[in-house]
Amino acid sequence: MADIEGAAPVTASTRFNGYFDRYESGRASGWATDLAAPDQGVTLTALVDGREVASVPCDGPRPDVQAALSLPSPLVAFAFDLPDEFLDGKPRKISFRLPDGSVLPHMGAEGLASLQPHLEIADQPPVAVQGNVDGLVHNALRGWVLRKVGRSGTAHARCDVLITCENVKIAQLRADRFRRDVGNVLGCDPNCGFEFQIPHAFQKSYPQKFRVFLLPEMLELDNSPFETATVSNFLEGKLVSISNDMSRLYSDIERLRREITALLPSQGYNINDYDRWARRYYENLRARVAAERRQLRERGELPPEPFVTVMVPTYKPLLSDFVAAIDSVIAQTYENWELVIVDDGSKSREVSDKIDEYCARDKRIRCIRSKRNVGIARATNVAMEAAKGEWTVFFDHDDLLVDVALEVMIRRAQQTGAKLLYSDEDKIDQAGYFLEPNFKPDWNYRYVLGCNYVCHLTVIETATMRKVGLLKKEYDGAQDHDFILRCSEILAPSEILHVAEMLYHWRITPNSTAADVSKKGYAVDAGVRAVADHLKRKGQVAEVQSINGLTIYGVRWIPQSTPRVSIIIPFRDQIETTRECVASLLENTRYENYEIVLVDNWSTSDEAKSFVADIADMDNIRVLRVVEEFNYSRLNNLATAGNEAEFFVFMNNDVFVTDEDWLERILGEALSDEKIGIVGGKFLYPNKTVQHAGVVVGTHGVAAHIHLGIPDDDYGYIGRARLSQDLTCVTAACMLIRASVFRQVGGFDEEHLKVAYNDVDLCLKVFDNGYRIVWCADFVADHHESLSRGSDMRPDQEARFFREQQTMYERWGGKPFFRNDPYFNRNFSKVDRLFYDLEDPAQPVGAGSGSVG
């Protein structure tokens, strides 16, 4: 048996009987009797943490005990209220000592006598609310509130209250307005009043129930619910009605759009329906190109046609495919070209005869023959050295050019001043069926490190080609990738142009990489070396490896410095979630030079107070308390004020990191180029499907997530769910940004974008200032999206959401990169809900497009 300070050991008393059998809300109760003198009352000694605090008489009625023990009197019960000083949330030990020095046993959880000498508790003092909802004055709900703590009833003003309308939360505010009348009557702190202007969205001509609660206990004030109408005259009612109608407009439009889309499913096109789309597209493309040609001629603006060299290295092609390829060059609407065929020692009589036939028929075609096979790189080099044109075109011996390909590419080069151009492409099988389109983004340096998305139709200014140099045999299988990377080393991004037209057909044959990349495994190793060597030439330290044995590559940057990083996490209550978020950071962040700034946005729960107390002594965590209505932009801006970190990480409290290298990964991305302003990551729902793999702007409304809902291990469209890349926007659920860039663009917009689209707006400001935004596919974390604040489409949020959406349209709607996101192909649908559905090919979405840079 255990001893406690100030009491004898627990013994089975032969004189006294009784139990300490109940404890609830600071009150302990039970009974005791003196068996030797049952007609005399017993007085107990109450002990808290072994210290005597009170004498407790057993003089209350317990008829059940009287009957059970045949006592002369029922007055054997006691009730003891623990003094307020011991109700402080700290662990306390309560016991009762009998007159003979033994300790009164207490009942356990199962109603059995406990062998422990005390009961352990950790209670807070009881809280009661005193307050009243006075009523409505000029559509402002008025009242006052006090929190009464402990049995002494000490009243505290400046309380937090929650206001609801028809059970919808509409405000959290602090009751700190001066109320002389309450102070005079109750003798309390007079700063206990509140006044809340009812928003237009909740102003009605019919009665509604408004309720007011003391936080965090959710104790309701007197005269609550308060039922009233908030519109008092016809004119006011009309104005409020118009305002409410406008607020509902957005959701009504969205609903109608969804209904229309659902009713017209046969009008759309998707990737699986590509052949049907392509045939209509090519008809429309030819018409658009002819119309542009005619208009230029009529205005006298048709530019001269510079001489173009088309290079075709050839080795043992299927004759029918080779013939189709050469015929596709001859069929070009652009006529000022030469075709240089390099027969790379194929020793095929029928192919040789066919080449001779073409050369004899068309003087624009010439052939250079190698005595032995020297490989794709050297054969192409022969053609590069022999090229006479101002422009040079790379072309494979069994692929097909669309008949307007050269005309479109050269015209775009003349219009933009670009020196390297590439187009979209698809594949064609032996039956002539179009499939697997590659709708490409505009120049995307980070993406091209992961895969050579630029191939196949590549047109380059010949003078630039000669500066870049010949193809390198050591990269056979990835020689084109190496060449594009070397081009990027001498060309500005503005000199590399994506022409968003489908101008090239990649032939699927049994021996081509279009059919099966595993047939050319050497190309994978060559690609790894090409990317690694490119980065070495740029003086960058990184590791490159193939992703799952494919010709796509992961680049892991190795930071050469350790700048200070400040991780900023706003929260309001939801302590279990916030605690998990912080714990995951502390456990899974190997990078050392960081701090966590927790922005407590008016938490009111006891759990929040305990959480803040628990972390108060941690060196790398600090708490900034902001007692204001929720304004995501302002909360983050306040956390950056006076913050001397070189990088900020804005993180939601419902993001949980699991990879200890996560911060090094995104920091490495940012440090790889001083023009990278923002780095985002890949975030997953709890079921391991994709919640965020980048954001597209100007589509599906203001912006939308791409690859939403696909499995974590899915490659996505052309590998884009697995490859890091430049984007126009990433989510601030977890976003790294240079502190200098954040301040340069003015931070988050806390006036017009308090809740939604503030991260999109921030990204667009950064992008518009010439910085790059990178989505890092290797930073993966779990995200319980909007767990912290809920949906924007709740009725009480629609009006605010609509205003913020309009702000984005007004601010960015006229920008070219908003109308056509450079990293989201113009041929993809902007209205359908599924990525990547296609625009109607009859619409001139891609006509003349091809933004530079």
pLDDT tens across 251-261, in order?
Answer: 676 667 656 65
Residue 791 scores a pLDDT above 70: no
Residue 794 scores a pLDDT above 70: no
Per-residue confidence at 810, pLDDT binned at 50, 70, 90? very high
165 and 215 belong to one structural domain:
yes
Residue 146's contacts (CB-CB under 8 Å, 6 or more residues apart) are 129, 130, 131, 155, 156, 157, 159, 182, 186, 188, 189, 192
Mean pLDDT, residues 294-320 taken together: 95
Mean pLDDT, residues 432-458 taken together: 96
Name the residue with tokens 């990083």.
565
Contact 148, 155 (CB under 8 A): yes
Residue 335 scores a pLDDT above 60: yes
93 and 153 belong to one structural domain:
no
Residue 196 host element (H or E): strand 191-197
Per-residue confidence at 185, pLDDT binned at 50, 70, 90? very high
Residue 262 scores a pLDDT above 80: no
Proportion of the chain above pLDDT 90, given as a percent: 75
Mean pLDDT, residues 118-143 taken together: 89
Per-residue pLDDT tens for 676-710? 999 999 999 999 999 999 999 998 789 999 999 99
Residue 614 scores a pLDDT above 50: yes
Q: Six-digit token pair at 143?
A: 């009242």
Range of the domain at 706: 565-819
Q: Residue 553 falls within a domain, yes or no?
A: no
Per-residue confidence at 108, pLDDT binned at 50, 70, 90? low
Amino acid 9: pLDDT: 37
State the DSSP code for 807. H
Residue 245 scores a pLDDT above 70: no
Residue 739 host element (H or E): helix 739-744
791 and 642 belong to one structural domain:
yes
Domain end (from 94, 121, 148)? 121
Query: Which of 187-201, 503-517, 626-640 is the most confident on average?
Result: 626-640
Q: Residue 559 falls within a domain, yes or no?
A: no
Cβ atoms within 10 Å, residue 398: 22
Domain count, the chain: 4
Q: Residue 737 falls within a domain, yes or no?
A: yes
664 and 776 belong to one structural domain:
yes
Q: Residue 733 falls within a domain, yes or no?
A: yes
Mean pLDDT, residues 316-340 taken together: 97
Domain end (from 55, 88, 121)? 121
Question: 655 - beta bridge partners?
Answer: 783
Per-residue pLDDT tens for 747-784? 999 999 999 999 999 999 999 999 999 999 999 999 98
Amino acid 107: pLDDT: 75
371 and 505 belong to one structural domain:
yes
96 and 141 belong to one structural domain:
no
Mean pLDDT, residues 398-415 taken together: 97
Q: Is the model more confident about 243 or about 164? A: 164
CATH number of residue 151's parent domain:
2.60.40
Q: Residue 9 falls within a domain, yes or no?
A: no
CATH number of residue 815's parent domain:
3.90.550.10
Strand pairing of 92-97 and 43-48?
antiparallel
Strand pairing of 365-370 and 337-344?
parallel
Contact 86, 37 (CB under 8 A): no
Q: Residue 167 falls within a domain, yes or no?
A: yes
Question: What are the CA-CA distances from residue 406 to residues 218, 340, 463, 659 (Å)?
Answer: 72, 15, 18, 48
Amino acid 126: pLDDT: 85
195 and 328 belong to one structural domain:
no
Contact 75, 59 (CB under 8 A): yes
Q: What is the mean pLDDT of the chain?
A: 89
Distance between CA 450 and CA 714 in Å, rounded?
16
Mean pLDDT, residues 346-361 taken together: 93
111 and 178 belong to one structural domain:
no
Amino acid 837: pLDDT: 82
Residue 448's contacts (CB-CB under 8 Å, 6 or more residues apart) are 454, 484, 485, 488
This prediction's pTM: 0.83
Of 240-244, 363-367, 563-567, minimum mean pLDDT range: 240-244
Distance between CA 780 and CA 762 in Å, rounded?
22
Mean pLDDT, residues 391-419 taken together: 97
Coil, helix or strand at residue 250: helix
Amino acid 851: pLDDT: 37
210 and 294 belong to one structural domain:
no
Residue 214's contacts (CB-CB under 8 Å, 6 or more residues apart) are 129, 131, 145, 147, 159, 160, 161, 220, 221
Name the residue with tokens 């189709």.
324
Domain end (from 121, 140, 173)? 121
115 and 223 belong to one structural domain:
no
Q: Residue 264 falls within a domain, yes or no?
A: no
Q: Six-digit token pair at 674?
A: 């001083």
* Among the listed residues 85, 19, 21, the one whose alpha carbon sits nearest the alpha carbon of residue 53: 85
374 and 502 belong to one structural domain:
yes
139 and 107 belong to one structural domain:
no
Strand pairing of 119-121 and 127-137?
unpaired
Q: Residue 517 falls within a domain, yes or no?
A: yes
Amino acid 853: pLDDT: 33
Per-residue pLDDT tens for 226-243? 999 887 655 555 655 666
Proportion of the chain above pLDDT 70, given as a percent: 88
| Packed helices 758-768 and 798-812: angle between N→C axes, nearest 10 degrees | 10
